[in-house]
Chains A and B, each alone.
Chain A
């Protein structure tokens, strides 16, 4: 994949690094027992610790540590047995402590890898620099009152993982693939629900450009809090073009923090370097260092589920799926699970086609997630079974599936109620074949004159006459015999 920007002074490539903030799936916050449910009324999920009342102390939520380690293992990353929470000091109205507790010099997870499945079937490895835990801030609401800003502290203290990539991404598409792949891994691990609309995942996008062929890293900008894959790609496109323009005009790119205006599709200066905060990081004296043992890490490792890359490989090697089908099926854990249930005891290729074709089509049209599908994996399996044992034809199966999707009835029920069983009685099919031949002398002459393709028309007529229930293979055989 190439993404070259042709500038006036030459060709440029883009260097992209992403810092993804992923909310750790956990009932309780990182340092307090308050709940984390999305959509609760303002300030209803706030403990004394989250509100930074005098004398309150943070206590680490061990479950969140486990989640972070699992994520690190899922990213094939180095797990640091010793990691330290520090205070990142700055003032803001929705930051009650006046500091964010975050890992800085000694994060819990070090270098790892995410493998991207490229559209051409190849793969590309993107390096992970680190993963650290931190607490979220609250939310400032500026549009609720004419003169005042209001604060909602429900998110204050919610556990986040910041996953920092190396500057290995080169195109907006790669960045999109990276975020999707990361989300897929986190969902498999059940360490983050990956729900970008609810703010469970958002990214800071670091972009710089350089002349093609150069390996320098030029000044980058960081666009904060971008909350969809599409927006991330837009930020990169806009930033890259803006920076190339700047260099073309003989200007420098300024190191700064920018924000994305989704309505205009552009980025704007938020804070330039000279106004950058001095966060005065230092180890939080209220907390002990996080210490992990080899046994604990091994224990976490055992609890890992099969991850998308491994699953894909298994689908290819053991089930004989194409890389493409396997790739599509493993993106969501739920889809992969659905497929494996539906395909049990059936032809996997047919099952894959049905899942990625008919099922995905119907779900898309209905705007449903696979977990809400009216046709369960077991039900689809039953339908595949009816096709496999020739009870119904593939064509009938499509109609049956549509009805299953609409009514929630089982395939067997529909086939039985509507009498859709395939006609395999040769006598009955023979009668229909003879009637069609007798009624269409011109076409018969045409076929016998050498137009082999006309056989398809005859098959269609016989199927029509039998209400689509005749076994197509038998129809074909009989027609060829009678027309010869």
Chain B
């Protein structure tokens, strides 16, 4: 592990600019770290050749006196849910066997245009369905953090490979996607920053769809500033995605260090869970004190429909997924398992191609959309969603940003909660409400639990007010001074 692996995007950009090192050197150091950390299983496809070639291009640009901005020459990892031109794209599923897109997702294209160097495609829960990165066809990802007695821990999910790669200093940053917490929860579990922008801020074009009305791409980084830099590159209106917002992308770093003096921070009463470790409550209080000591005013707010968010999410997301995943039918690409009739081919292909969790959600989704159940489940869940959004809207009449814990626990061991889907789903209990309302949110590493494992604090802001979100997150980050790192990355 070299010092190059420990840089922030900001510091690396400066080093490149000052000629302290080249992008090829920076990239080579990260490829070396990738090679050294094979046991984490963070990547499904490693692309060292592509990385070195793009690094070389970046160096050539710089030598010629031009750069493409703060991400030029920065080695990053890409969640294997983003379609990447000419590079295997699996979504962590057997059913996409051998699928190599002829196209590049808008978000990764934006990063490519900005000169970012792709190290590889990171492991994830199958079709981004999971909170522990244990549902991947390509086997679980191990967190670089170890539990008591050296136990292997989950990195969280679904962006578990991306989180592990960033935490283990294999990549300076990584892309993730967040449907109900898939960026923020793994960030919390691995002691890094994970940010989900406002729904519509990033284009969904070219991202394998899980739940269309909830999916958003976002950055996983080691600092809030890096998240602000990277989101600035990823975001932007895209005519190819009707749900992408036709609004300009501000410079998210401009007011990053502006402080929180005079800011009103809401502390929602409802963000607690029976049996939640006391240290999470304590950290939450600590976060409140950190912000208050910097001049913010913290007030308690009520979001009364919070408890309905998770059940409603587990109706809406599977419903959309059941339809979005219908295209994986063995006819045009990916896995095909032959059968004696079309129906048998479908059954064989989808039965073999989808893992247990994906099959469970497709079945739930099909059920809640069925004649006779649609009104009782899907329509009602959509109403709940409206109520949740209204809760937030009312709260934001009084406050600028909300502070909550990111997850109800620290990372757990691989294999735990595997036989209890509901216990697994509870991982996202604090992240799902913002997803249901389409709001921007971020997890900032803030402390350690009694076993020395990272815990994150979670901020939620108004639609398209990522600037306030980043500014508050930066203040929290400064105060927390989180500098713990996983073994092997020290």
Q: Is the CB of A54 within 8 A of B374?
A: no
Bound CA–CA A290/B240 (angstroms): 16
| Known contacts A93-B342, A99-B323; is-contact A287 B242 (Cβ 8 Å) | yes
Q: Is the CB of B326 within 8 A of A57?
A: no
Whether A278 and B205, one on each chain, are in contact in the complex, defined by CB atoms closer than 8 angstroms, is no
Residues of B close to A96: CB separation below 8 A? 327, 331-332
B378 touching A48, Cβ below 8 Å: no
State whether the Cβ of A415 lies closer than 8 Å to any Cβ in chain B: no
The answer on a CB contact under 8 Å between B326 and A89 is: yes
Q: A52 on the interface (CB 8 Å rule)?
A: yes
With an 8 A cutoff between CB atoms, is B366 at the interface? yes
In the complex where A55-B209, A57-B241 touch, is A282 in contact with B323 (Cβ < 8 A)?
Answer: yes
A52 near B83 with CB under 8 A, answer no
Q: Which residues on B sit within 8 Å (CB–CB) of A98?
A: 323, 325-327, 329
Residue ID in chain A nearest B89 by CB atoms: A54
CA distance A282 to B211 in the complex (A): 13
Which residues from 115 to 162 on chain A have a C-beta closer than 8 Å to any C-beta of chain B? Answer: 149, 151
Contact with B along A282-297 (1 / 0, CB 8 A): 1001111000000000
- CB within 8 Å of A: which of B227-248? 239-243
> B314 interface residue, CB < 8 Å from A?
no
What is the CA–CA distance of A55 and B205 in the complex, to the nearest angstrom? 6
Say yes or no: B331 contacts A53, CB within 8 Å. no
Instruction: Report the interface size for chain B: residues with CB under 8 A from the other chain.
Output: 44
A291 to chain B, nearest CB (A): 12
Q: Find out whether the CB atom of B332 lies under 8 angstroms from the CB atom of A51.
A: yes
Inter-chain contacts of A324 with B (CB < 8 A): none
Q: Is the CB of A285 within 8 A of B327?
A: no
Query: What's the least CB distance linking A93 to chain B, in Å?
Result: 5
Within 8 A of A (CB), among B190-217: 204-209, 211-213
Given contacts A58-B242, A91-B346, contact A285 B333 (CB under 8 A): no
- Chain B residues closer than 8 Å to A288, beta-carbon distance: 242-243
Contacts of A57 in B (CB 8 A): 204-205, 240-242
Is the pair B370, A278 in contact by a Cβ cutoff of 8 Å? yes
Q: Is A60 an interface residue (CB 8 A)?
A: yes
Q: A280-B370, A282-B374 are in contact. Are A55 and B208 (CB under 8 A)?
A: yes
A319 at the interface (CB under 8 A from B): no
* A92–B83 CA distance with the chains assembled, in angstroms: 25
Closest partner residue, chain A, to B82 (CB atom): A55
In A53-97, the 8 Å CB interface with B consists of 53-60, 87, 89, 91-93, 96-97
For residue A99, which residues in chain B have a CB less than 8 angstroms away from its CB? Answer: 323, 326
Separation of A92 and B91 alpha carbons in the complex (Å): 23
> By the criterion CB–CB under 8 Å, are A282 and B83 in contact?
no
Q: How large is the interface on A (under 10, 10 to 19, 20 to 34, 35 or more residues)?
A: 20 to 34
Cα–Cα distance between A285 and B215 once the two chains are bound (Å): 11
Asked whether A97 and B326 contact (CB < 8 A) given A53-B333, A54-B96, A54-B208, the answer is yes
* Residue of B83, B91, B323 with most partner-chain A CB within 10 A: B323
- CB atoms of A285 and B212 under 8 A apart: yes
Q: Is the CB of B212 within 8 A of A52?
A: no
0 or 1 for each of A392-427: is its CB under 8 Å from B? (1 = yes): 000000000000000000000000000000000000
Interface residue ranges of B33-50 to A (CB < 8 Å): none
**Cβ A54 vs Cβ B369 within 8 A:** no
* Shortest distance between the CB of B272 and any CB in chain A (Å): 31
Complex contact B83–A55 (CB within 8 A): yes
CB distance from B105 to the nearest CB of A (A): 6
Report how far A288 CA is from B326 CA in the complex, Å: 21
| Residue interface mask A278-318, B partner, CB < 8 A = 1 | 10111001111000000000000000000000000000000
The distance in angstroms between the C-alpha atoms of A57 and B329, with both chains bound, is 18
A48 B331 Cβ-Cβ under 8 A:
no
Tell me the bound Cα distance from A280 to B320 in angstroms.
11
Whether the pair A280, B327 counts as a contact (CB closer than 8 A) is: no
Bound CA–CA A287/B332 (angstroms): 24
Bound complex: CA A288 to CA B212 (Å): 12
B370:A93 contact, CB within 8 angstroms:
no
User: Would B83 and A54 count as touching, CB distance under 8 A?
Assistant: yes
Q: Which residue of A lies closest to B204 (CB)?
A: A57
Q: Is the interface of A mostly helix, strand, loop or mixed?
A: loop
B376 within 8 A of A: no
Considering the complex, give the chain A residue whose CB is closest to the CB of B90.
Answer: A54
Query: Is there contact, CB below 8 Å, between A59 and B329?
Result: no
> B204 to chain A: which residues have CB within 8 Å?
55, 57
Q: Which residue of B lies closest to A49 (CB)?
A: B240
| Chain B residue nearest in CB terms to A286 | B212
Cβ–Cβ < 8 Å partners of A48 in chain B: 102-103
Within the assembled complex, what's the spacing in Å between the Cα atoms of A281 and B343? 21
Residues of A within 8 A of B239 (CB): 59
**Which residues on A sit within 8 Å (CB–CB) of B370?**
278, 280
Give Cα A48–Cα B333 distance, bound, in whole angstroms: 12
Question: Is B482 on the interface with A (CB-CB < 8 A)?
Answer: no
| Chain B contacts for A51, CB-based, 8 A | 332
Q: How far is the CB of A351 from chain B (nearest CB, A)?
A: 52
Q: Whole-angstrom distance between the alpha carbons of A59 and B96 in the complex?
A: 25
Most chain A CB within a 10 A radius of its CB, from B82, B320, B329: B329
A-side contacts of B3, CB under 8 Å: none
Residue of B nearest to A59 (CB): B242
**Residues of chain B in range 255-308 having any CB-CB distance to chain A below 8 Å:** none
Among B388-403, those with CB < 8 Å from A are none
Asked if B99 contacts A54 (CB within 8 A), the reply is yes
Is B101 close to A, CB under 8 A? yes
B326 touches A286 (CB 8 A): no
User: Are B319's CB and A282's CB within 8 A?
Assistant: yes
Residue of A91, A149, A280 touching B329 (CB-CB under 8 A):
A91
Q: Name B378-412 residues within 8 Å CB distance of A.
A: 378
**CB of A60, distance to nearest CB on chain B (Å):** 7
**Using Cβ atoms and an 8 Å threshold, which residues of chain A touch B96?**
54
Q: B327-378: which residues lie under 8 A (CB-CB) from chain A?
A: 327, 329, 331-333, 342-343, 346, 366, 369-371, 374, 378
Question: In this complex, which of A53, A89, A93, A97 has the most chain B Cβ atoms within 10 angstroms of its Cβ?
Answer: A53
Q: Which residues of B contact A91 (CB under 8 A)?
A: 326, 329, 343, 346
Task: Give the Cβ gap from B368 to chain A, nearest Cβ, in Å.
Answer: 9
Q: Name, among B211, B331, B342, the residue most crowded by chain A CB atoms within 10 Å (CB to CB).
A: B331
* Contact between B378 and A282, CB atoms less than 8 A apart: yes
User: B178 → chain A, closest Cβ, in Å?
Assistant: 16
Determine the distance from Cα of A288 to Cα of B329 in the docked complex, in whole angstroms.
27
**In the bound complex, CA of A456 to CA of B469 (Å):** 103
Least distance between B320 CB and chain A CB atoms (Å)? 6
Measured in the bound complex, the distance between the Cα atoms of B401 and A412 in whole Å is 87
List residues of chain B with CB within 8 A of the CB of A286: 209, 212, 242-243
Query: Which residue of chain A lies nearest to B244 when distances are taken between CB atoms in the complex?
Result: A57
Contacts of A60 in B (CB 8 A): 242
Bound CA–CA A59/B101 (angstroms): 20
Minimum CB–CB distance for A154 against chain B, Å: 14
How many whole Å from B366's CB to the nearest CB in chain A? Answer: 7
- State the CA gap A91–B322 with chains docked (Å): 12
Cβ distance A348 to chain B, nearest Cβ, rounded Å: 52
Taking CB atoms, residues of chain B closer than 8 Å to A53 are: 101, 103, 332-333
Residues of A within 8 A of B101 (CB): 53-55
The CA-CA distance from A91 to B209 in the complex, in Å, is 18
Interchain nearest-CB distance for A274 vs B (Å): 13
Additional A-B contact list (14), CB under 8 Å, known A48-B102, A57-B204: A51-B332, A53-B101, A53-B332, A53-B333, A54-B208, A54-B209, A55-B105, A55-B207, A56-B205, A59-B239, A59-B240, A96-B331, A278-B371, A280-B323
21 intermolecular pairs with C-beta atoms under 8 Å apart: A52-B327, A54-B89, A55-B82, A55-B206, A56-B205, A57-B204, A59-B239, A91-B343, A96-B327, A97-B326, A98-B325, A98-B326, A98-B327, A99-B323, A149-B342, A278-B371, A281-B369, A285-B211, A287-B242, A288-B242, A288-B243
- Give A residues with C-beta under 8 Å from B: 48, 51-60, 87, 89, 91-93, 96-99, 149, 151, 278, 280-282, 285-288
| Chain B residues in the interface with A (C-beta under 8 A) | 82-83, 89, 91, 96, 99, 101-103, 105, 204-209, 211-213, 239-243, 319-320, 322-323, 325-327, 329, 331-333, 342-343, 346, 366, 369-371, 374, 378
